Amino acid sequence: MAKKFSELELPPVVDSPNVAEIFASEVVGTGVLGKLFSINLACHRWVFPEDSQPKLARVVVARLILTGEATIQLAKHLAQLSQAKDAGGKAKDE
């Protein structure tokens, strides 16, 4: 019988310098898509319409779609960051 993904020994992470970074100032939505979880990230940007004054807009900059397992991993890492912030230190990397 084939092993489940969670039972496999994972290779090391390759942190490519070519991956785009996304800046977000807020989480504007979450959802469930079957067995996947969606997180919508946005940032504030100035919009300059030709016919009116500049105004602030909330623009979706990324839709993060995660498996259930990745969602649990994200929650654990966010909890570590929160604990480190509360303790005034750094989160340990697993």
Across the beta sheet with 36-47, the strand order is 26-33, 36-47, 55-67
- Residue 12 CA to residue 14 CA, distance in Å, equals 6
What pLDDT is recorded for position 94? 47
Q: How confident is the model over 25-82, as pLDDT tens digits?
A: 999 999 999 999 999 999 999 999 999 999 999 999 999 999 999 999 999 999 999 8
Mean pLDDT of all residues in 3-23: 85
- SS3 of residue 67 by DSSP: strand
E strands, 34-73, are 36-47, 55-67
Lowest mean pLDDT among 2-6, 16-20, 53-57, 88-92: 88-92
State both tokens at 66.
């995660």
What pLDDT is recorded for position 86? 76
Per the document, the length of the chain is: 94
| CB distance 60 to 26 below 8 Å | no
What pLDDT is recorded for position 3? 67
Confidence label for 2 from pLDDT (cuts 50, 70 and 90): low
Closest by CA position to 28, among listed 72, 65, 70, 59: 59
Phi and psi of 73, rounded to 5°? -60, -40
